[in-house]
Amino acid sequence: MAEEVQTRLLLRLETGVDEAVFLRGLDSRFGPEFNLERRLGHTLILSFAPPLPGSEAEALAARIADLPDVMYAEPPGPRMQPQFVPNDFFYPDQWNLFETYGIDAQNAWDRTRGNSSVVIAQIDTGILDHEDLDNARILPGYDFVSDPAAANDGDGIDPDPTDPGDAVVADECGAGSPADDSSWHGLLVAGVMVATADNTLGVAGVDHRARLLPVRAFGKCGGDFADILTGMSWAAGLPVTGVPDNPNPADVINLSFAGSDPCSPAIQDIIDQIRARGVVLVAAAGNDGMTDMSTVLPANCEGVIAVAATNRVGDRAAYSNHGTRVDISAPGGETGNFGRDAISTTHNDGPVTAGNDIYVSASGTSLAAAQVSAGVALMRALDPDITPDTVASLLINSAQPFPGGSSCTTSLCGAGILDLDAALQLVSQSGSAVADDGGGGGCVLAADRRPDIGLVLLLMAILGIRLVRRSSL
């Protein structure tokens, strides 16, 4: 990028100095032709010609500032651009993007709004078309729900990640299990990450250019963990038997689900293989309000960025799991106050099969993790080669401290609240940044044994989220 030129200096003289005499002598002493452009109180704005590159203008200002008659002299700084503020209908309600205890996305977008070469994969219930999702940014994903009954789409593993719905009747997921409507969980999470911004509709996602890779591993009654591991592996570009290689390997994989079991050696090994390909893994801490994170899978695995949820005033969201294993927090919201304190995102009003596009206010560590994943995508937009370890370090080192008196501390909720603008600033300072291109409530997983992985599959639950419906536009 070419160095910005300067044509002005800010100058203030010491008290008692004859301004006219001083200015007459500047031209002869320093070369450029100076003119008094305007006064700002005691400060003078001087224009000069010819224009100078920024470094030369700084050197000139330093020489003038050394004169005994001068209080200060300096260039006025770089040319500023207006802050990008999306015009999406519900954006004023998206406090998590711009309020004090939000993620400061609004300032971050002046550094980058993303890059189409970056891929965010989400392991979830699949994806639906929605008026606020740009189909050009949705990559061909895959459906890894292997049990046709759970898949609810007539077959098992197939190349169509469309969410057919996961509604269940009473006792369908085990004796005593309740009936439940379709969650459309994948659509909720996708909206947080990549909803189209500045289109007057709905909401704004955190990343405005990255592409989404939908990987379906959850169906009716949750997800089989072998299917989840398969989807994670395929999303990262690892070979999977019987399935074509993924032509669009992910930069970051969002894991907005949680279950109860230690991270076994086999699972940790698969995660290590994924990270060895440069893929960042981000997982929800879970919604059970637990302090011990040692059994919250996959957030308890080494190398996975574990995300807890905060509320609008920077406290721990009451439902959020917490503890020393948490790396960072992000807004997950709470559904009181008529939904005003929750997270606005995309949804569908179909109780069983897909119906109409709507928007809802929701809460959960699923949504907190989604904001971190999209933030990682913005970091990769600035530096495509930034490593998973460096990503985690920069997120932690740039996090906003919890407010005084908060129920969150660094021993409970990680380093602080995601500060996206500060994280991007650290990426830019790292030396390799590139220019911007313009708790429970779901069904448990089925326990089973799969000899290809050689471990007992674990009981897990897709994260429950509390919804407050909003009218479609």
Catalytic pick from 134, 183, 185, 344?
185
Give kind and range of the element (H or E) at residue 228: helix 225-236
| CA atoms of 370 and 320, how far apart (whole Å) | 15
* CA-based nearest residue to 318, from 300, 339, 336: 336
468 close to 335: Cβ distance less than 8 angstroms: yes
| CA atoms of 207 and 438, how far apart (whole Å) | 13
Name the amino acid, one letter, at 245: D
Catalytic pick from 93, 104, 124, 132?
124
Active site (annotated) includes residue 166: no
Active site (annotated) includes residue 69: no
Q: If you write DSSP's letter for every residue of 412-472 in order, what string do you get? A: TS-S-B--HHHHHHHHHHTS----------SPBPPP-EETTTTEE---EEPPP-EEEEE--
Give Cα 163 to chain centroid, integer Å.
Answer: 23
394 close to 420: Cβ distance less than 8 angstroms: no
Active site (annotated) includes residue 366: yes
Catalytic pick from 182, 320, 329, 366?
366
List, in sequence order, the alpha helices (H) in 330-443: 365-382, 388-398, 420-429
Beta strands 296-297 and 258-260: pairing type? antiparallel
* CA-based nearest residue to 149, from 214, 216, 227, 221: 221
What does the angle CA 207 – CA 212 – CA 216 come to, to the nearest 5 degrees? 135
Catalytic residues: 124, 185, 366
